[in-house]
Amino acid sequence: MLSHVIQFSISRPKRVIVLWAVLMLTLGSIGAGFGYKLVTDDTARFLPKGAESAQAIDFARDVFGQQAGTRTVSMLVRRADGTALTASDRAEIRSLAAATRHWRVDTDSPALKSQIGDLDERAGRVVDAQAGPASPDGGLQLVALQWKGNTTDPVAQEFFRQVRERAADTARAHHLRVGFTGGVASMADEMKSQEGTRALSQALLFGAVVALSLLFFRGPLAAIVPLLAIYLVAAGASGLVVLAALASGFKLDVNTPQLITVVLVGIGVDYFLFLLFRLRERLRMGEDRRTAAARAAGGVGPVIASAALAIVAAFATMLLAEFGQFRVIGPAVAISVLVMLVAGVTLMPAIAAVTGRALFWPSHSWAKERINGPAARLGRRIARTPGRAALGVTALLVVLSTFAFGMTMSYDQGEQSGPPTPATRTADAIAHSFSSGAGDPQQVYVMSSSGTLTAAQLAPLRHRLARVAGVSAVGEPELAADHKAARVDVALSDGPFTRDAMDVARGPLRAASRDAAPAGTTTLVGGTAAIYADVSDSVNRDMKLIFPVAAGLILFILIATLRSALAPLYLLTAVVLEFAATLGAAVLVFQQLGGATGVAFVLPLVLFLFVVALGTDYNILMTARLREEMLDGKPVRTAVADAVRHVAPAVAAAGLVLASSFGTLMLEPSEVAKQQGFAMAFGILLASLVVSSILVPALTTLAGQRAWWPHRSMRRSAAPARLKKVVPQATS
């Protein structure tokens, strides 16, 4: 069936290209027009229903009227002259806090002219504002603003800037000064500070991809045409995911659209490069562009299909996750990869059939194969000393893997190493005068099943909570309207996203709440630290389930693709070692040498999704060519040398292009982005230049024909070939 699809696309290439362009542009416009309605940055939304913090959110909504999806923005107020706040100042602060609930976005703002959709809906609003505690010296006061809206939406960020400017003007009229931090305040300032860096990153990314493509193919079309096609398909795939979300009624995590683009650009570059290298090989033999495109696509089509299905299987396992964000990401990326798979066997061959040699214009050097180039020399060396090559690479991977055992998880998503912003300066002022967790307190909810509650009944609970290590302050209880429930705010010593704060919320705070609760009551602990503590527990559980299931599915696909039992085993082992080595390298660079508190808790999953999936791509490409060369009847060592000569340049090109794209993340001020950029770039280079190009051919040489056991056609085709003298392939 696959061959028929390829032949159909090549027989009508222009129609196929036009059809893809129209379809992808249509889907892309749908994604741009409706996507903002489906994304959310409310992590709590994805918690398992049984998580205590999720139950606390539901209780707060039902009993105290707290709206779901809100974020705390801390407003810090002080007098302009630096003296202590007066009673009149405190009254003005309460008035200012109440006024913010009625402010709406100015849609005539020049910054919003290019935005689409319902700007009022996208901007969000302040749904609650409560004056908080004053500093011990009386010079500062906190106000907690509950902001409802997607903090990553540019419209919401612009609205916050309007709120900040309006609040500053109002405060200035009363000789006060204000500062904001947390939630949309921190995000807006961070995005503003990164504008120049993002532009530089995008320029470097585009320049690196074009430069590397020119280096390998010597033709501008070979550099530009694949990128245009891949980004077109990525936009259309994102639109298809939006349609699926609209049809099923589920929300997408705010990072899902970006993740889809990154995944599709990664595998799209791989698939196009695989095709271009094979196309160039066929054109060297003197074939016309359609014949060359057909045979090139026929050679790499099964490889693309197997590699894509392996990625789909890896992401599909996320449907087993307990954490809802994984259950959303898995199908979304799987759908997108299937779109790129279809493009890989229809659109890409059609483009190759239309362009042919023009892709490599104006260079003529592509027509001559380098029989004695670096890849050829590498292949011969591996074939001569496979044991030494396999042992050296395995030792390197094992040594790097040992550092992963010292890994510590960091949940501080806001850790930043860039220039200070107004939000970071306000956060520092709060931490200096209050505590790092004062701006985003946790909530202890008390529910009575035997009668009403009073403040006196809650006094022992407050005293017990105040003695918990890691708690800096406990507020006065707030009783529900029927006095059958109460809320006690608890400020922690550490910021809510830190591991220490999550440990306090997960353990001592919940234990103290249960132990000291009044008779006949039950308690629930909620708040940001409690939410992320439950998230971390859910993520740890899911990774223990997802990783082995995904590995089993990938193994099954490898067995089906290669029709053997031995080769898939050492391929999967190589990928696992590659994953562990990359994680170990990240721990070594950032945690042990860089002094970071730990590696980002999302890093293992990100590496699993990218490094393992893309590494499997490279392994399948190399192993399929090894098998093809052996099926031609060549001796094992000759077959290995020839396979490396043909495939190593393609794998190296794909790896270098992807590593350069991921590496641009290291320019971001966020520590999390730096870690992801380094780890993904390192992992891709390790997968392409070391594991697929050296370790896999070396292991295949050692295994010989046994690599394809129990498939017997290898022996039948290889036997008569031993009577012939194998000579180097002629070049045209």
Question: Is 716's pLDDT higher than 50?
Answer: no
pLDDT of residue 198: 63
Tens digits of residue pLDDT in 703-713: 888 888 776 54
Residue in 647, 654, 631, 642 with CA at minimum distance from that of residue 707: 631
Q: Give the percent of the chain with pLDDT over 90.
A: 24
pLDDT score, position 331: 83
Tens-place pLDDT, residues 377-392:
999 999 999 999 999 9
The partner residues of 176 in beta bridges, in order of sequence, read 79
716: its two tokens: 């039948």
Q: What is the pTM of this model?
A: 0.76
Is residue 32 scored above 80 in pLDDT?
no
| Residue 265's pLDDT band (cuts 50, 70, 90) | confident
* Measured distance CA(649)–CA(644) in Å, rounded: 8
- Given a cut of 50, is residue 560 above it in pLDDT? yes
Domains of the chain: 1-40+218-368 (1.20.1640.10), 66-181 (3.30.70), 371-423+559-732 (1.20.1640.10), 441-526 (3.30.70.1320)
Say how far apart CA 196 and CA 145 lie, in whole Å: 30
Q: Is the pLDDT of residue 570 over 80?
A: yes
- Give mean pLDDT, residues 335-362: 86
Q: Greater confidence, 348 or 221?
A: 348
Instruction: For residue 18, name the pLDDT band (cuts at 50, 70, 90).
Output: very high
In angstroms, the CA 110 to CA 305 distance is 47
Mean pLDDT of the chain: 83
- pLDDT (0 to 100) of residue 402: 94
Distance, CA of 125 to CA of 138 (rounded, Å): 29
Instruction: Report the run of H or E that residue 288 belongs to, with start and end.
Output: none
Name every residue whose Cβ is closer than 8 Å to that of residue 671 and which is 6 or more positions away in sequence.
415, 416, 417, 590, 596, 600
Of the listed ranges 322-331, 469-478, 576-585, the least confidently predicted one is 322-331
Better pLDDT: 103 or 209 = 103
Q: Is it the case that residue 367 has pLDDT exceeding 70?
A: no
Mean pLDDT of 422-428: 87
Mean predicted confidence (pLDDT) in 249-268? 74
pLDDT, residue 718, reads: 41
Structure tokens at 206: 């585009």
DSSP 367: G
Whether residue 723 is predicted with pLDDT greater than 60 in this model: the reply is no
Half-sphere exposure of 659 (CA within 13 A, CB side): 19
Distance separating alpha carbons of residues 540 and 502, to the nearest angstrom: 14
pLDDT at 130: 83
pLDDT in tens, 178-215: 999 988 888 888 777 766 666 666 676 667 667 766 67
Q: Residues 146-169: what's their mean pLDDT? A: 86
